[in-house]
Amino acid sequence: MGTKSLCLFIASVLIAYYIYTPMPENFEDRWKLMLITAVFRTVEHLAGFAERLGLMHYMEALMLITVAEYVPPTSDENVTVTDTEFSNVPVRLYLPRKQSSGLKRGMVYFHGGGWCVGGAGMKSYDLLSRQTSNQLNAVVVSVNYRLAPKYHFPVQFEDAYSVTKFFLQGSVLSQYGVDPNRICVAGDSAGGNLAAAVAQQLLDDPEVKTKLKVQALLYPALQTLDLNLPSYQDNENKPILSKSLMVRFWSEYFTTDSSLREAMASNRHVPAESSHLFQFVNWSNLLPEELKKDHVYTSPIYESSNLGKKYPGFLDPRAAPLLAEDAKLRGLPLTYVLTCEHDVLRDDGIMYVSRLREAGVKVTHNHAEDAFHGALMFVSSPGELAVGHRLSNQYIKWLNDNL
């Protein structure tokens, strides 16, 4: 074998080794998903490298994916799309062109991205909002809330809440022909967190007269207390969202101080005086037996109160909706929750389903055994996956039947 052939062979082996990631047998499009995962992993490595060199913040580097995926607001024969502002917050507005004698449905949607990346203008979110608007004959408000690391909690929540409260005004609903009895909030991942938090906050706002009919939470992030749940352990290095990246997202939501991230990574960030909150995220009581597997619940290890005092946001239900009292949950609307088996956030969603049902809230829980975090975003080329189409169709069908 010549030197060139040997070098080519070695390079091919190294590339194959880098791309190959073990995938569960029930995954569709496994090789395509391996390539997508390799691309994400490469961007993460480059982001870490750039941060170590002092070139840019880690999340600023990850934001390049959002920039690459951006599409301008473009109307088509079904939907009119514009970029505008609601309550001084940028939104992308989708208005269905379908002629209808009645009023339209309404949705406020919050994109995912760990409160640090993402945007309403990303191709995947733009497509999902178009489909929702067209198929449901709904006015969709997709919110471009401010992001970390430039902005920390509660800014993201406040932007999300401000837009929702503005949209729920009678004059605004009338302007867009929206039925005040058919409105929902929805979001995926960090956006699911914001949707859940907004739905809870609306219950305490005497200025808001319009009630939500539905909240739809797609693989939501809902709690900050226990970052070593069975799902975090089982899916530590599964596609798209690893445990380490989710811990980074959580910590960046509150601060760029690495001490919080390090404490969260070791699951020793909660002060002893907040120990009563663990009753709301005790997976030994809230998860079904089949998900507990061989995991054994252990009592939390507490840290001093320093982090809790410096960054109280991670103990706030507006950032971690699973920490809400049962009395608050009882007032919530009809709920749709999507969880994915191979996702670190799986147990967040399942525990919320358990608590909502115990509080008497009607919940539809769609658990996808063959899916991973972010699956709904892979519905357009070149990263198109069959599982994304299936879950997207199920979500929109449920909304059509219930909203």
Known catalytic residue at 373 = yes
What phi and psi values does residue 235 have, to the nearest 5 degrees?
Answer: -120, 30
Order the strands of the 334-342 sheet from edge to edge. Answer: 79-86, 89-96, 138-143, 104-110, 178-188, 214-218, 334-342, 363-372
Catalytic-role residue among 142, 189, 231, 392: 189
83: Cβ contacts below 8 Å, ≥ 6 apart: 73, 90, 91, 92, 93, 121
Q: What are the structure tokens assigned to 159, written together?
A: 């932007």
Known catalytic residue at 343 = yes
Known catalytic residue at 354 = no
Catalytic-role residue among 159, 343, 347, 348: 343
CA distances (Å), origin 321, targets 184, 198, 222, 296: 17, 9, 5, 25
Q: Give the number of residues written for the chain.
A: 403
370: helix, coil or strand?
strand
Catalytic-role residue among 111, 269, 342, 373: 373
92: helix, coil or strand?
strand
Contact 66, 144 (CB under 8 A): no
DSSP characters over 218-282: ES----SS-TT-HHHHHTTT-SS--HHHHHHHHHHHH-S-HHHHHHHHTT--SBGGGGGGGGGS-
Cis amide bond preceding 312, omega within 30: no
Q: Known catalytic residues?
A: 189, 343, 373
